Amino acid sequence: NSALIADWGIELSLLFDPKCPKLESLVEKIKEIVESNEVGRLPKIPKGTRDFGREQMAIRERAFSIITSVFKMHGGVALDTPVFELRETLMGKYGEDSKLVYDLADQGGELCSLRYDLTVPFARYVAMNNISAIKRYQIAKVYRRDNPSKGRYREFYQCDFDIAGVYEPMEPDFEVVKVLTELLDKLDIGDYEIKLNHRKLLDGMLEICGVPAEKFRTVCSSIDKLDKLTFEEVKKELVEEKGVSNETAENIGSLVKTRGPPLEVLLELRKEGSKFMENEGSVVALNELEILFKALEKANALDRISFDLSLARGLDYYTGVIYEAVFKGVTQVGSIAAGGRYDKLVGMFSNKQVPAVGVSFGIERVFAIMEQQEKEKNQVIRATETEVLVSILGKDLILAAELVNELWSAGIKAEFKLTTRVQNHIKYATQTGIPWMVLVGESELRDGKVKLKDIRANQEEEVPRKDFVEVLKQRLSNP
Amino acid sequence: NSALIADWGIELSLLFDPKCPKLESLVEKIKEIVESNEVGRLPKIPKGTRDFGREQMAIRERAFSIITSVFKMHGGVALDTPVFELRETLMGKYGEDSKLVYDLADQGGELCSLRYDLTVPFARYVAMNNISAIKRYQIAKVYRRDNPSKGRYREFYQCDFDIAGVYEPMEPDFEVVKVLTELLDKLDIGDYEIKLNHRKLLDGMLEICGVPAEKFRTVCSSIDKLDKLTFEEVKKELVEEKGVSNETAENIGSLVKTRGPPLEVLLELRKEGSKFMENEGSVVALNELEILFKALEKANALDRISFDLSLARGLDYYTGVIYEAVFKGVTQVGSIAAGGRYDKLVGMFSNKQVPAVGVSFGIERVFAIMEQQEKEKNQVIRATETEVLVSILGKDLILAAELVNELWSAGIKAEFKLTTRVQNHIKYATQTGIPWMVLVGESELRDGKVKLKDIRANQEEEVPRKDFVEVLKQRLSNP
């Protein structure tokens, strides 16, 4: 900042005569602003975190209520886990991203880290409690020491839905993908598509292209960049960094272009002469995908899916179907939701394997879109549900307590205010969207009455003191 | 553990003849158990934390919904803050308890700590956003490196309701105490009382007893132990550790016994010849308390209050009314909720003072009581809201998808299962409390029908395939 001011100084001195009093007063003004900023320094919150104030909380509650209703529609049970886990629980699960894990300081006792996602704590929970089947959801914050300058949060919400246990082929996979489409449809935040692939098909593809097995995962992480880089760039990485031959890279390049309506792509990959039909893993994958696609078709969800051989997903632990939801026609936004099948993760914690499949939904972008939608509607986002404001003209708290308590006892959401300036109360009710006011001044009290004010209609009426709760109840139930 | 086993070994050898084969087999058995524990070592969670599984979540959601409804009844706005704050935000706020703050590891960048309560982050939020008045609630986890062996959690929920801003005397104090009584009444978890005192009266009392001003806070923290220690023990601490004279300690001892119905105690403290009426701060406090008590009386909340001169509260930042809710007739349980007025905390973050008053409600004990109540009722605590289980006899996922999707589209909460063993499905529905099943086998399919099963009535009926959603809708709306 001081470098910037110095630069400005030089620029200004070119415009003004350095001896001109105007320049001096300008410099004084700048100094003043800089200093007053220093004096009134306000507290800060950590980088990459944020508070949810009134309006953001109202939007967040709406989003969570939609999401929870979808999860409950499918019989999900809620689970909550601690915000930190033993460090050993998170070790060896995130590959290169492990460097983004937040550690707690060693203050004696156990070594812990903040959770990086909800999947690993879920697997830990299933293993620890020896659970053989569970369909759970969890909406909670996760923590990543990512670069906040890119607009990324270091504390952010994930909404996860996972099914663990042994089922008929594709039974839970179908439901998880269906849940994802329902979430995105009900949130109504824009046109989207779900890219879908299968790890066994991906491995089959790499085998067909001539990639040696030990390079599958590292080649996958290059392919995973195809949504951000051109194929030429990815190819360069494959050949120069990962030691893949030029021919193999070209083979990969021609196959990863395969994408489109699931049943059509499926037909294409299975047609006579297709190399995939000679590859054992690929045949298994294609058979599973056929069941999945047909089930999704019956559930009116298939038109949202794009079968896409370029989808690779970074995480190591996926073993079957993988998917990622993106907004249509928007590039560089990254995924809104992603997930897949991970059959070996629970087994990393115990000697019992419990296969599982799930989806993780990132909600921060959804909040931003919903906030924008609200602003465009130009409506007051109410931060409270207050129905009545009791406005006492004066300082009689005891009178206020008596009146407002009658409303509370009747189950009416009410606030109260004391003051001699009734206009302030009316302004408050209008701004916060409170529909009714009870106005009580000296004259009303003397006559055993109170005044009711309908804020939106801007109408007032006097009612007997003893009846005002009953009258308001009626008014509120017939708005 | 091995020391324990060795001790047992010695004890056992006294009971048995060391050569007796019984002893040998017993030792073998113990060895076996110990070893199998080692082999099947399950993952753990950090000490003092816990998972909320199905049933706990159902109870937690019920408790939170009651608490939130009370907060909303009073026009509270929701706020959420990050789980960690800059370390400087928490510094110098908790006195001796600062050692219980969890720090994040220094991984480069800012130094952060997990929040210790919700009050300091709230004050930071008010200061940072230059807010002059707000009534907010927050339900969130806080973190304390306390001794978990005492059954204390290191991660636990607090439910806070605070009013910041300048109001008429006792206007927000009245509402916060009223909110506390409503919370405890609505949760219905046992008979309670709210001990209430005033910091200015406490200081006045110490002045009257002859305690020098610089010892007020340290003497307060001794008095605060009176709920756990006898007066003799506290007196010893006062005289031997805090350097208070014997006479002064005796004076304190006679005054802190003062407690009882608020208006009676008030009359007592104000009667002719009372030393309190000659003490400036005490007079201010007693005038404020009179307004508060009369307002609470009008709101039918005063019978819950005990005016108690022995209530001191540990935290430094209180400046006015203080209170603490405890269960009646139960000792050593500690408080369920506590709070008070803190007029200087926001000013620690900015050069603008915003007076505030609030209450902090600890929910872990409430969960435990509600769980116990549920168990005594002997009812199934439903972890899901599933209304219908679609049971497909066989492996036809595509048929299942079609049927269950019709239910989901109609807004009916439904699960589905494939198997040849229908008895497992019926067992699952019964155990999880699902009221209806749709049974589909080969014969039903052939005849264009499905079977509906009412689990509780144990009755079945056949309906045409095309009508089953409509029929279920009717059955579910008229249970």
Asked if the model's pLDDT at residue A443 lies above 70, the reply is yes
Mean pLDDT of A359-373: 87
Q: What is the pLDDT of residue A422?
A: 87
pLDDT tens digits for B425-440? 999 999 889 999 999 9
Contact state of A82 with B43 under an 8 Å Cβ cutoff: no
A 10 A CB-CB count for B106 gives 12
Known binding residue A144? Answer is yes
B-chain CB neighbours of A51 within 8 Å are 79-82, 125, 129
Q: What is the pLDDT of residue B372?
A: 82
Q: What is the pLDDT of residue B31?
A: 62
Share of chain A above pLDDT 90, in %: 67
Q: What is the pLDDT of residue A6?
A: 64
B279 touches chain A (CB under 8 A): no
Tell me the binding residues of B for L-histidine. Answer: 117-119, 144, 158, 162, 313, 317-318
Which among A45, A89, A384 has CB closest to B43?
Answer: A89
Q: What is the pLDDT of residue A150?
A: 66
Which of these, A372, A389, A204, A191, lies nearest to A278 by C-alpha position?
A204
Asked if the model's pLDDT at residue A12 lies above 70, the reply is no
Which of these, B160, B157, B115, lies nearest to B135 by C-alpha position?
B160
Mean pLDDT of B120-132: 95
A-chain CB neighbours of B172 within 8 Å are none
Is residue A115 within 8 Å of residue A90, measured between CB atoms?
A: yes
B185 touches chain A (CB under 8 A): no
Residues 6+ apart with CB under 8 A from A118: A81, A138, A140, A142, A158, A160, A360
pLDDT tens digits for A266-293? 999 999 999 999 999 999 999 999 999 9
Q: What is the pLDDT of residue B41?
A: 67
Mean pLDDT of B150-178: 93
Nearest 5°: phi and psi at B141?
A: -85, 145
pLDDT tens digits for A119-166? 999 999 999 999 999 999 999 999 999 887 666 899 999 999 999 999
pLDDT interval class at A10 (50, 70, 90): low
Element (H, E) at A458: none
Mean pLDDT of B370-394: 85
Asked if the model's pLDDT at residue B388 lies above 90, the reply is yes
Tokens of A245: 């031959």
A107 touches chain B (CB under 8 A): yes
Q: What is the pLDDT of residue A374?
A: 80
User: CA B155, CA B301: separation in Å to the nearest integer?
Assistant: 32
B-chain CB neighbours of A114 within 8 Å are 83, 104
A166 touches chain B (CB under 8 A): no
Mean pLDDT of B77-100: 90
Asked if the model's pLDDT at residue A90 lies above 80, the reply is yes
Asked if the model's pLDDT at residue B5 lies above 70, the reply is no
Contact state of A298 with B405 under an 8 Å Cβ cutoff: yes
> Cα separations (Å) of B347 from B81, B123, B130, B232, B360?
19, 8, 11, 39, 20
Mutation site, B131, B186, B397, B465, interface A, largest A CB count within 10 A: B397
Give the Cα-Cα-Cα angle A59, A435, A470 (nearest 5 degrees): 125
The 3 state secondary structure assigned to chain B is CHHHHHHHHHHHHHHCCCCCHHHHHHHHHHHHHHHHHHHCCCCCCCCCCCCECHHHHHHHHHHHHHHHHHHHHCCCEECECCCEEEHHHHCCCCHHHHHHCCEECCCCCCCEEECCCCHHHHHHHHHHCCCCCEEEEEEEEEECCCCHHHCCCCEEEEEEEEEECCCCCCHHHHHHHHHHHHHHHHHCCCCEEEEEEEHHHHHHHHHHHCCCHHHHHHHHHHHHHHHCCCHHHHHHHHHHHCCCCHHHHHHHHHHCCCEECHHHHHHHHHCCCCHHHHCHHHHHHHHHHHHHHHHHHHCCCHHHEEEECCCCCCCCCCCCEEEEEEECCCCCCCCCEEEEECCCCHHHCCCCCCCEEEEEEECHHHHHHHHHHHHHHCCCCCCCCCCEEEEEECCCHHHHHHHHHHHHHCCCCEEEEEECCHHHHHHHHHHHCCCEEEEECHHHHHCCEEEEEECCCCEEEEEEHHHHHHHHHHHHHCC
A400 touches chain B (CB under 8 A): yes
Paired with A416 in beta bridges are A390
Q: What is the pLDDT of residue B331?
A: 54
User: CA A177, CA A303: separation in Å to the nearest integer?
Assistant: 12
Known binding residue A319? Answer is no
B-chain CB neighbours of A174 within 8 Å are 397, 401
User: CA B181, CA B99: separation in Å to the nearest integer?
Assistant: 32
Mean pLDDT of B99-108: 93
Q: What is the pLDDT of residue A38?
A: 44
> Beta-strand (E) ranges in A239-387?
259-260, 305-308, 321-327, 337-341, 356-362
User: CA A467, CA A406: separation in Å to the nearest integer?
Assistant: 11
Between positions 427 and 466 of A, the ones with CB within 8 A of B are none
A 10 A CB-CB count for B148 gives 14
For tokens 């990959």, the residue is: A269
Which among A42, A81, A105 has CB closest to B127?
Answer: A42
Which among A43, A395, A411 has CB closest to B127?
Answer: A43
Is residue B152 within 8 Å of residue B114, measured between CB atoms?
A: no
Q: Which of A70-84, B7-21, B178-192, B235-249 is least confident?
A: B7-21
Between positions 76 and 105 of A, the ones with CB within 8 A of B are 76-86, 89, 102-105
Contact state of B79 with A52 under an 8 Å Cβ cutoff: yes
B40 touches chain A (CB under 8 A): yes
Is residue B111 within 8 Å of residue B86, measured between CB atoms?
A: yes
Tokens of A131: 């659970």
Q: What is the pLDDT of residue A306?
A: 97
Which among A349, A405, A419 has CB closest to B299?
Answer: A405
Is residue B178 within 8 Å of residue B305, measured between CB atoms?
A: no
Question: Mean pLDDT across chain B, nearest whole number?
Answer: 89
Contact state of B83 with A397 under an 8 Å Cβ cutoff: no
Which of these, B231, B224, B237, lies nearest to B195 by C-alpha position?
B224
Contact state of B72 with A106 under an 8 Å Cβ cutoff: no
Question: Mean pLDDT across chain A, nearest whole number?
Answer: 89
B145 touches chain A (CB under 8 A): yes
Q: What is the pLDDT of residue B229?
A: 87
Mutation site, B55, B59, B80, interface A, largest A CB count within 10 A: B80
Question: b/e map of A153-174 (b: 16 or more CB within 10 Å)?
Answer: bbbbbbbbbbbbbebbbbbbbb
Tokens of B100: 């219980």
Tokens of B417: 């299962």
Which among B72, B109, B402 has CB closest to A384?
Answer: B72
Which among B57, B80, B171 has CB closest to A52?
Answer: B80
For the domain made up of A388-477, the CATH class stated in words is alpha beta
User: CA B25, CA B33: separation in Å to the nearest integer?
Assistant: 12
For tokens 């590859």, the residue is: A279
Compute the CA torsion angle B364, B367, B373, B375 (nearest 10 deg).
-110
Is residue B136 within 8 Å of residue B340, measured between CB atoms?
A: no
Asked if the model's pLDDT at residue B9 lies above 70, the reply is no
Q: What is the pLDDT of residue A232?
A: 92
Which among A74, A127, A167 has CB closest to B42?
Answer: A127
pLDDT interval class at A189 (50, 70, 90): confident
Tokens of A437: 């006011």
Name the closest residue on chain A to residue B155, using Cα atoms.
A82
Tokens of B16: 């048995």
pLDDT interval class at B39 (50, 70, 90): very low
Name the closest residue on chain B to residue A134, using Cα atoms.
B54
B303 touches chain A (CB under 8 A): no
Give the closest-approach CA distance of A133 to chain B in angstroms. Answer: 12
Q: Which range among A83-97, A370-384, B7-21, B266-280 has the greatest average pLDDT? A: B266-280
Asked if the model's pLDDT at residue B36 lies above 80, the reply is no
Q: What is the pLDDT of residue A425?
A: 92
For tokens 């009658």, the residue is: A406
Question: b/e map of B116-129 (b: 16 or more CB within 10 Å)?
Answer: bbbbbbbbbbbbbe
For A300, left (φ over 0), alpha (ψ -120 to 50), or beta? left
Residue A290 buriedness (CB in 10 A; 0-12 / 13-18 / 19+): middle
Asked if the model's pLDDT at residue B192 lies above 50, the reply is yes
Is residue A279 within 8 Å of residue A198, measured between CB atoms?
A: no
The 3 state secondary structure assigned to B405-428 is HHHHHCCCCEEEEEECCHHHHHHH
pLDDT interval class at A25 (50, 70, 90): low
pLDDT interval class at B244 (50, 70, 90): very high
Residue spans per domain, chain B: 1-38, 54-376, 388-477
Second CATH level (architecture) for the domain A54-376: 2-Layer Sandwich (3.30)
Q: Which range among A377-386, B102-111, B171-180, B219-228 has the greatest average pLDDT? A: B171-180
Which amino acid does the sequence have at A461? E
Q: What is the pLDDT of residue B371?
A: 84
Residues 6+ apart with CB under 8 A from A119: A160, A162, A317, A342, A345, A358, A360
A-chain CB neighbours of B60 within 8 Å are 80
Asked if the model's pLDDT at residue A465 lies above 80, the reply is yes
B229 compared with B325, residue with greater pLDDT: B325
Give the pTM.
Answer: 0.85
Q: Which of A40-54, A122-136, B5-19, B226-240 is least confident?
A: B5-19
A-chain CB neighbours of B128 within 8 Å are 42-45
Name the closest residue on chain B to residue A136, using Cα atoms.
B54
Q: What is the pLDDT of residue B185?
A: 95
A421 touches chain B (CB under 8 A): no
Mean pLDDT of B148-154: 77
B65 touches chain A (CB under 8 A): no
Give the closest-approach CA distance of B17 to chain A in angstroms. Answer: 39
B-chain CB neighbours of A401 within 8 Å are 174, 178, 294-296, 298-299
Is residue B394 within 8 Å of residue B418, measured between CB atoms?
A: yes
A38 touches chain B (CB under 8 A): no
3-class DSSP state of A42: coil
Is residue A471 within 8 Å of residue A436, measured between CB atoms?
A: no
